[in-house]
Structures are given as C-alpha cells and as structure tokens.
A and B are shown apart, each in its own frame.
Chain A
C-alpha cells in the first residue's frame, strides 16, 4: 500500500498553457507515499505537490523533477455539522467538498472562481473569494494541516507551529506536501444566492458604489470591460449578495432548498487556432454582456454555481486561446493608490490587449501568512491572450508602477514577473524563507515558479 507509486514522464503546464515543462509524474494515493518522495528525492531529483493545475503559470510545474499529483488522494474524511468542520485529503476538490457538505447545510468558507481546485492548492495559494473584504482568505479558516516534508510528517495548527503553518499557507507548495487538512465550514440554509446587480458607467462610479456598499454585502465583485474607452473607461457590472434563506426561495425550490445540480456544459474543442479571441470578438462579447445586464436589479435568487463559478459551465475553456496560450495578470494596490489602478486599466485598454471581463474587487485585512497575496486594497484580475512581443514590456512597466505604489502580483497567477520585484512586492519574503529553509534544509522541494523568481533565495 505504501510502496513507491510508478512515475511517468509527462509534459505539464498551468491553466494558461504556458510555459511548458517535462517532469516525472507520480500519482499519490496516501500520505505514506508522500513520505517516500523525500527519500527518493534525496537520491535523484527535487519534488513538488501538484493539485488540479488551476494555477495559471508554473507554480505547479517542476521541469526535470518529480511532480506528486494529488488527485488519487481525495477522500472527504469527516464532516461534522455540529462543529461545522470538515477534514479531507488534500487532493479533494472544492467541487467534491461542496457536494458533500451542502446536504448538511454547510458550505466552504472561501470559494474561488472555479470549484475545480484542490484543498491543497487552496491552502498553498491562500486563495481568496468574493467575501475577502469580510471573511479574509482561505488560510484563516484552516484549523490544521498534515504536512509531509523532508524533515518528517506532522499535523500542525496556528497554535502548535505558527511559523511552519503560516509558511505553508500561501507557501506555493514549497514547505512540503499537504496530505490532509481540517477547515471550518460555514452554515447555509439553501444552495442559492440573493444577488443585487448594478451597472456602473465607468470606473469612478464602480469604485464609489463598491466603497459605499460593500460593507453591507458578504460577497461582492465587479466585472470590468477593459476594452471600453474614454468616458466609458472601466464600465462595470457589480454583482453582490449573500446566501439566500429558505423563506426567500420560491415555493417549489423550498422543497429541496439545498439541491445542487450545476450544469456540466460542453467541453471547448481540442483544437482552436491562436487569435480566435482577438480584440474584435472580445469587444463584441463585452458589449453584449454589458447591455444584457440590468441597470439595477435587487434580490434575484440565483443558483450558487452561476454566481460563484460561471466559467465551470464550459470545460477546458482555456483551450479557446489556442496553442499560444494566455496569461492572467492579477495585482492588488493599497487603498489610496486608486490612480495606479486607473492608469493600469487605461494602459491595458489603450494597448487593446483583448480581455474578457476583468474582475475588480476590494480586499479586506491581510492574512498572517508572509507570502499571502491579499492586502487591504483594490485587486484587478484579467486574462490576456499571448499575441506578440508588445505585451511583455507593457506588463513590466505596470509591475513597476504597482510595486512602487506598495502593491503586488499574485503568484498563483504569475507566469512572467521580473524576479527583481519579488522582494519589493513581498516585504516579508525573508521571514518566509527562514521558515521554509527549516522545513527543507537541503532544498529537496522546488518548482519552476520558485526557480524563475528565486523564491527560495538561492541566487
């Protein structure tokens, strides 16, 4: 049962489909198999955990090394409605966890824009959701993790080993393999969200609506059209809401208020030419989308999957960008640096870098984890198809602006940050490195992201 899992050589990439690298892939089935990594890595190559590959760049890649994939280690171990806690293996997807928990009236404390992420990946990236401004990032809701690393396996929590615990939360897999975790769930009466929708004609209007109203909403996000220009620059649709209670449902839905049957849509075709999503097709889409949204609509009862995970309806939608792939650029700037946010949107819009809607959100308090991304401020995330040589220099100069304003970019999305900026964006980097060094003194854990940005501080 605990013998070495067989490895196969395989090409690996992130959700943006670039960069590509080749590794030996091992499918973990148990915690003991994770422990074996460190004895075998000592003899041959470095190792890294990989969840569902939903990070966009090279965070879950390790060229020439061993990738320990967790999809075979995905059981929900316990779910307790009374204490509202869940214990699961790290490979369990949020999709699986939500499906197991909803019938008991429980829901995950934080959900990203897709349910197809693993528990381990959620912890390693310290992911955030639409409720960050009130409930913080994923790590805040983690009660304990069982971590297998070169120095051994242990179950740790913020009280027993705060240093290693918080280095693991947001630590991008570089402190070891999370084997299991226990998280605090939240209580819900229904599988529906009560949503208020509002259109904003431009960025100023969107930001002021959010500033004024966000505190009244548990979930809040604005979708921005980055191709609109001039007076329409940053026009947006705000969707905000909270879990609906039973008495808010229709009589029919009340019969089975926790029903959850997200539509599993068609898959994107396997072969699509690069350039299908260009500025014309995307601008047309964005226009139609803005026109379709109601100017103002309050209290619409919406299935939670269409509120939280609208893209999960099309499987493998990342293939629509063709073989040249795409990247996601996500940054945060502190409150007060609204001008930097506006300038970034202006420059992206001027460069006509086609993007489906960008997502704008206000973050609340930062997590204690030194490498965690969210900080109080505005975060913007957008997908950009990779087209030419022009994009790199533009993003480099946005990075400079953002960094100078005290902001940072999100490592789980990154595939191109210049490494010189890392320490400026993450001022607690050295603190994290010290904790990591203790957990992995011989440098057995690594990732392509770690090499590219020199996260571990070898060079």
Chain B
C-alpha cells in the first residue's frame, strides 16, 4: 500500500536496469518498500541489478523479461506481474533510449527505435499499468520524462520529441485519472550522469541518479504532479520555453 508520506510497499520497474530507476527504487526500498520486480530485456543485467538491490535493502527482488517494443507482450507481462504480486502499489516507467541524433537522422531503423521505445513503448506500458492500478483503487505511476521534453531542441529532436509526446500523454492521463485513486508523477530530470550519457560533455546543472531519486521521493511525499531535478532546472526550462525562435535556434546546444 501507499502510506501518508508517499512511501510504497511494492514496486514494478519497467526498464529495470535504468540507473535512475534503480536509484529511486533503492531509496524507497531502504525505507518501507519490501517487494520489487525489475522488468527489462537484458536478463543478465537485470539479475545483476537485483543482486545489488538485495545487498543494499531487505526487499524481495525478482526479475522478468520485458521488451518495450513488444507492444502486445507489454500487456501480458504487466498483467503477469500484477497477478503474481496480488497488488502493486507503484509502477515506475524508466525505460528510455537516448540514441545518437546524427546517426539516427540517416539510419531510420535506429531513429525509429528511439521514437518507438520512448513514446509508444513507454506509453503502452503506462496504459498496461493504469488499467490494473485503477482496478486496485489505489496506486502511483511514476514516469521518467525529461527537461528535453519541455522544448525540443535541434541537436536532439528525435529523442526530445519522443519525450515530449510521452510527457503530454502523461499529463492527459493524469487528468483522466482524477477521482480514480491512481496518481501520476512526471519526473523531468536535467542532464544526469548515467550510462545513458556516458562519454558526453557534462553541462552545468548536471546531477547524479541519486539526486533524481531524492527529488522523486520528496515529490511523492509532497504529492507533486511534476518533479524537476535539480529544482533549478524548472526555471531554466521555463525561460527556454518562452525564448523567441531566432534566439533559441542560436543557442549552443
């Protein structure tokens, strides 16, 4: 169940090898979360993540196979997880693919994979989770969006637009769930140093996965609909969003 401070007892992580996803899960599991399922496509990496969580927390951790691009498989995989657990209090959608814009613009298999994983895959996972959470009458859906979704930039518009689509989807979903007992939390991190961004130049205001985890857990306690990490990134993206195009276009990123 969910408690008054936004702690959740059982968690399903879709994208169970995500560094941010694992940091959030670990923080919840060092307190009251006691059951965790990590779902993803790389079973060896999932198992390694599970071993790590078991070492650091008292939670019972299991893994399951799930590929975000197998849309019909998503419904049955999520259904199976709920059936196995009886109830799941929080579903964390952490799956994401950054891609490489220059290559993705010309290799369309790559470009379309980024778009389909980040939007269709993640949003389908949200739908699969939502219908079960609604039936339970209580639950939380936490979705990792990005500041890149707030205003799509020329340098990574494939990734950015797919996150923008997911972000918009979640806002509408959240409104549609008013009165259902299900709450949606949209997390919009800035640049986070994880394997996703490994090797990239680290910009100002960058943080680690732990900081995103802390901000998310505090957001759950406060019942925030949107969590920004670091908090200052919210104001930066508000400014970016309102810049006139000729200026925005010339920004150095």
Contact = CB atoms under 8 A, between A and B. Distances in A.
Interface string B147-190: 00000000000000000000000000000000111000000000
B137 A392 contact: no
B107 interface: no
Interface in A394-420: 396, 415-416, 418-419
Which among B34, B214, B218, B223 has the highest number of chain A CB atoms within 10 Å?
B223
A100 interface: no
A396 B138 contact: no
A21 B31 CA distance: 22
Contact of A19 (B4, B32, B136, B180): B4
A391 interface: yes
Given A323-B223, A389-B217, A418-B32, A18 B4 contact: yes
A448 B138 contact: yes
Nearest to B2: A19
Given A21-B137, A65-B137, A396-B31, A388 B222 contact: yes
Contact of A416 (B4, B181, B218, B222): B4
A389 B218 contact: yes
A22 B181 contact: yes
A309 interface: no
Interface stretch (A56-64, A85-93, A311-319): A56-64
B87 interface: yes
Nearest to B223: A324
Interface string A315-343: 00000000111010000000000000000
A386 B87 CA distance: 26
B1 interface: yes
B3 interface: yes
B25 interface: no
B105 interface: no
Contacts of B9: 419, 452
Interface in B20-41: 31-32, 34
Interface string A1-43: 0000000000100001011111100000000000000000000
A21 B4 contact: no
B3 A19 contact: yes
Binding site secondary structure of chain B = loop
Interface string B123-136: 00000000000011
B74 interface: no
B1 A58 contact: yes
Contact of B221 (A58, A65, A391): A391
A393 interface: yes
A201 interface: no
B102 interface: no
B229 interface: no
Contacts of A64: 135-138
A387 interface: yes
Given A21-B181, A388-B222, A392-B5, A63 B32 contact: no
B7 interface: yes
Interface in B62-87: 87
B222 A324 contact: yes
Contacts of B2: 19
A172 to B, nearest CB: 14
A416 B223 contact: no
Contacts of A19: 1-4, 138
A300 interface: no
Contacts of A58: 1
A143 interface: no
Nearest to B35: A459
Nearest to B60: A459
Contacts of A324: 222-223
B4 A325 contact: yes
A451 interface: yes
Contact of B1 (A327, A393, A451): A451
Contacts of B3: 19, 57, 415-416, 452
A209 to B, nearest CB: 34
Nearest to B215: A389
Contact of A448 (B1, B214, B217, B223): B1
Contacts of B218: 388-389
A388 B137 contact: no
B138 A386 contact: no
A392 B222 contact: no
Given A63-B138, A325-B4, A448-B138, A22 B180 contact: yes
B226 to A, nearest CB: 15
A323 B32 CA distance: 23
Contacts of A274: 222
Contacts of A18: 4, 223
Contacts of B32: 416, 418-419
Nearest to A21: B138
A323 B6 CA distance: 13
Contacts of A57: 3-4
Which among B7, B138, B217 has the highest number of chain A CB atoms within 10 Å?
B138
Contacts of A451: 1, 87
A389 B214 contact: yes
Nearest to A62: B137
A416 B7 contact: yes
A256 B221 CA distance: 51
B137 A23 contact: yes
Given A63-B136, A418-B32, A22 B4 contact: no
A52 B135 CA distance: 25
A143 B168 CA distance: 60
Contacts of B181: 11, 20-22, 63
A359 to B, nearest CB: 19
The 5 closest A-B pairs by CB, nearest first: A22-B181, A415-B4, A64-B137, A63-B137, A63-B138
28 contacts: A18-B223, A19-B3, A19-B4, A20-B138, A21-B138, A21-B181, A22-B138, A22-B180, A22-B181, A57-B3, A57-B4, A63-B137, A63-B138, A64-B137, A324-B222, A387-B221, A387-B222, A389-B218, A389-B221, A391-B5, A392-B5, A416-B5, A416-B7, A416-B32, A418-B32, A419-B9, A448-B1, A452-B1
Given A21-B137, A21-B138, 4 more contacts: A19-B138, A393-B31, A396-B31, A451-B87
